[in-house]
Structure 1
Amino acid sequence: MTDRRPGQWPVQHPVPRDPQTAATAPVTQLPVRVEVPVPDVRLVAVVDLTDEYATHDDVSRALYEQTMRASDCHTAVVRLGEAAIRKHLTLPRAIAGAFFLSAQRIEVHVPAGTRYAYFAARVRQELEQICADHAQMLSSTRTPG
């Protein structure tokens, strides 16, 4: 075992008991304080829904599987394909619902052309409605004062 008694802990730099040896003992220098700069990191969650989907449930499942671990991010980038937009009619609400508490910004990338240009605006509208409903619910459940 050790020669320690219960309640006695080893000291890394023992202090000498004799005052004369304490004056001549080398003074240990404390390490210089080092500050590590923390970079401004912005987490991005990327959701890719550009595959071919047969049903509404396939699109919902793919969206859920890709967003279930995206609990906190700065930006959510959602890439949509034509099949996902055609099969899932409530996709703007589903995207807004998946990220409304976890992402500060949602970017929606749709296929080129004017045919789907409205889609990002619909996601933004749904997000505003969900946030307004959430704020109204919080204000009604808080106690006054």
Structure 2
Amino acid sequence: MSDHTVGQWPVKQPVRLASVPAPAATEPVPVAPPVVVPVPEVRLVVTVDLTGHYDRSSEVDEDLREQTCASVDCHTAIVRLGEEALRRGFGLGQAIASRFFLSAKRIEVHVPAGTRWAFVASDVQQHLRIMTADHERMLNSLRTPGG
């Protein structure tokens, strides 16, 4: 057994630490220059393909939503529209503009050549202008005067 009673611990002699002399004043260690890692310019591109077969306008909207749900931020959005999507898609210009309004810097709309659907690209631009003006009005109303 030990020489202590309950609640008491034996006292041991303190351990003496030998002092370590400080290093002699030598030349300072040279500091390496900071490492510069070049970062390449990367532009994220989202491609939406709406060239499939669609029977209803809700299918076009659903396909657009499914293909854009994960694309939260990108530089360029390329939307390829097929004849079926253009025939069935009601308000397609507004739907495309609203999906990429705050997330894409550039939106490209590709329609089949020789069709009458070329106005969809200008429709997207018109809706983007309206949404941008509305967003700016909203932000200006939220800002404090003089701030």
TM-score category of the 2 structures, normalised to the smaller one: 0.7 to 0.9
Letter of the 2:87 partner, please give it: R
CA radius of gyration, larger in: 2
RMSD: 2.3
Higher share of residues assigned helix? 1
TM-score computed with the length of structure 2 as normaliser = 0.76
TM-score computed with the length of structure 1 as normaliser = 0.77
The structural deviation recorded for 1:35 is: 1.3
Matched position secondary structure for 1:93: helix
The structural deviation recorded for 1:139 is: 2.2
Look up the match of 2:52: 51
* 2:137 maps to 1:133: no
Answer whether contact 2:43 2:75 (CA < 8 A) is retained: yes
The 4+ residue runs of structure 1 with deviation greater than 6 A are none
Q: Percent identity?
A: 53
Instruction: Give the whole-Å Cα distance in 2 for the aligned partners of 1:127 and 1:60.
Output: 18
The structural deviation recorded for 1:142 is: 3.3
* 2:39 maps to 1:17: no
Deviations 1:39-86 (A, max 9, x none): 111111111111011111101110011111111111111011011111
Distance 1:72 1:18, change over 3 A: same
Answer whether contact 2:93 2:123 (CA < 8 A) is retained: yes
Letter of the 1:119 partner, please give it: V
Matched position secondary structure for 2:107: strand
* 2:81 maps to 1:83: no
> Structure 2 matches for 1:32-43, cutoff 5 A?
33-43=34-44
Deviations 1:99-138 (A, max 9, x none): 0101010000111114222221111111111111222222
Matched position secondary structure for 2:84: helix
Work out the number of aligned pairs and report it.
128
